[in-house]
A and B are shown apart, each in its own frame.
Chain A
């Protein structure tokens, strides 16, 4: 059990959560909560794998996955923005829908065998930095590097650019944004779509890079829900989201690896001698998500931080209130 290898693999599997969480941040910053992440990710994973199997081109797979999940997200957008339905229920429905469609269209994909995956490589100079180079820049999938770029870019976009300002305005006080001539409805549609694109990318990251293949519902195994927990933990900030995603990725990896060695730090490893204790290890990411939410909400109260003010409420033009 090598700590560096665990961290290296943790960064890789954390990239899945990272994409989903950043997409969710865009989504929620515009005032629309989308609990359909899990369904969209599964749909993305299925589309990516399916297209790669039939065309042999993983890049096409990624592209189709993003568009497919983006299109799926528009159902949620229509129902919540146009029809003003409850965002919680609509998001749940989207998860059911995405999961169901993925299972139907993904039938038989699990026997597809080996496909060409996205390339993995080491970054020439950076990989020689001690420790950090090993963890972040050695033999990682290209999507992991994309993840490194996404974090600062999306932070900059949200906090320092004019479109980002509009995004925040629409999520905080849509009536004021509307008065300034910002098209609230169009922006919300757009950012729900962006959230879908990221969810699709996240799904493609699973099925084409991190744990290649199609394992029906177990492909995502609830990571979409963990990502929703991370959105809240991140306080809608991509940088904090990256931190949370990588920590959770490392945790997932640690759980897999800790059952290997007979000794840990010279002590008998209980998970080696009783493999059934592994079931308690399996609970950890989920228990951790709850703990993270408890800690996050305490901190939010202390710092007076909060969700985007209009999160979860439909905007109806000409109506009083938000």
Chain B
């Protein structure tokens, strides 16, 4: 059964070839989607280079700079990991929601709310400044999870109850979260009129590698913090939920075939709310780890768009929790190096091109595309 690309006749006879696309019937080899994704990223980088050249920059120098500034030495690689940690959380958050075809674009807002929750532990204060570190970490994790989950609950319940498009509601909530945080930074927790809270006490910081520098000299100056451990634990938990639990099975079933899920008696609406809460909680953890691991105070602009990059991370990782780690490290490098690159929009543009190429490349998973000679068809 040969079917042309959308079955439109090719009228141009000047070119003696035409493109034929057939739906795939046979199973794909395991390496195929992986190679395809890598190919899509390479194509995306080439397209990005062209745009950079049009914009008057030198693309190769920019790319070489990105590679050097993010993976060039153990020091910068450690900084890359620091950027990757929130991406892992947010990538997981998006993977969970996207698996059920819930388009949670609100990870950015949930990130801010998680950061707010974690800060509240110190600034409200929920714990006295002299509390031990382990108690701080646990309380902040709970606060971050909780605030993120609440912020995911809102679009979830709106979608389940009122059929409100979650893309728009989560996006709107992003703007609201930023304004909410700004109010507290400017008006409530401001330190001496500056647009930031006071520095957290040392025992509310996530331990960093450099903190052990006196015992292990190799760790001196490395900023990678305990958030990485939390992130890796989260990866395993999410993997277990999605692939080993009944709930995960139901989520995947709803994503693949909502009709079948309905007939199987799975309460789709309830799952919608729960999945949005889980997704929000994971994104909230990202905010928590960033606040207590890196920034150590509540301030504006704590995220260079982690929530949005998480969408691309999830998509590139094909919603696989373990692949999220690898992709996050790559994008962490891009964000780290991108801060110094002019023009400043380059990382964002490259992310956009990568996502476009990725979804375009999915076509090659569903269809087999061949270029054949015109004469052999007629």
Interface residues of A (CB under 8 A from B): 35, 39, 75, 78-79, 81-86, 88-90, 92-108, 185, 216, 222, 225-226, 228-229, 232, 274, 276-277, 279-280, 282-283, 286-287, 289-290, 293-294, 297-298, 301, 316-318
Contact = CB atoms under 8 A, between A and B. Distances in A.
A92 B349 contact: no
Contacts of B168: 225, 228-229, 232, 289-290, 293
B349 A104 contact: yes
Contacts of A102: 345
Interface in B45-59: 51-52, 54-55
B234 interface: no
A225 B166 CA distance: 12
A318 B3 contact: yes
A100 B179 contact: no
Nearest to B356: A93
Interface stretch (B169-177, B204-212, B325-333): B169-177
Contact of B179 (A104, A280, A294): A280
Contacts of A232: 165, 168
B228 interface: no
Nearest to B347: A100
A49 B180 CA distance: 32
Given A286-B176, A289-B172, A103 B165 contact: no
A76 to B, nearest CB: 9
A286 B175 contact: yes
Contact of A100 (B6, B105, B353): B353
Contact of A290 (B7, B164, B360): B164
Contacts of B352: 39, 93-101
B205 to A, nearest CB: 28
A268 B207 CA distance: 49
Contacts of A286: 172-173, 175-176
A104 B183 contact: no
B158 A225 contact: no
Contacts of A277: 183
Contacts of A294: 158, 162, 164
A304 B160 CA distance: 18
- Prevailing SS type, chain A contact patch: helix
Given A75-B356, A104-B346, A286-B175, A317 B164 contact: no
B96 to A, nearest CB: 16
Interface in B337-378: 342-353, 355-356, 358-360, 362-363, 366
Task: Give the most central of B51, B55, B349: most A CB within 10 Å.
Answer: B349
A124 B355 CA distance: 51
B174 to A, nearest CB: 8
B77 interface: no
Task: Give the most central of A102, A228, A286: most B CB within 10 Å.
Answer: A286
A289 to B, nearest CB: 5
B344 A287 contact: no
Contact of B363 (A83, A97, A103, A301): A83
A280 B349 CA distance: 31
B136 interface: no
21 contacts: A81-B6, A82-B6, A85-B362, A92-B355, A93-B359, A94-B352, A95-B352, A96-B308, A97-B352, A99-B349, A100-B345, A100-B347, A100-B348, A102-B345, A103-B349, A106-B345, A226-B172, A276-B187, A279-B183, A290-B168, A290-B172
